[in-house]
Amino acid sequence: MVGFETMITIEPIFDFDMVLVDYIRRGNPKWVNIGADSGGHKLPEPPAGKVRELIAELLKFTEVKLKKNLNRILNK
């Protein structure tokens, strides 16, 4: 949006298609926060490799801030 900085939060992250990157790009966020389900809701979580791929694609056009609880997924 003109005149406003935006950010996007993906928390809790659950399984997704990579088309998500295109949707996020359209929002032109200054940064994106990504975190895991810390509430034990048993949501379908993506595999670590898919999360790493998402992060790599997002880093091509914005800053990515990872919540500490995402390590549970990334370290599987």
pLDDT digits (tens, 9 = 90+) for 55-75: 999 999 999 999 999 999 999
Grouping H, G, I as helix, E, B as strand and the rest as coil, residue 51 is helix
Q: Name the nearest CA neighbour of 74 among 54, 59, 63, 58.
A: 54
Whether residue 42 is predicted with pLDDT greater than 60 in this model: the reply is yes
Q: How far, in Å, CA of 56 to CA of 21, rounded? A: 10
pTM of the model: 0.91
Over the stretch 15-36, which tens digit does the pLDDT of each residue have? 999 999 999 999 999 999 999 9
Q: Where are the domains of the chain?
A: 7-74
* Chain centroid offset of residue 17 CA: 12
| Under 8 Å between Cβ of 43 and 14 | yes
Report pLDDT for 3: 76
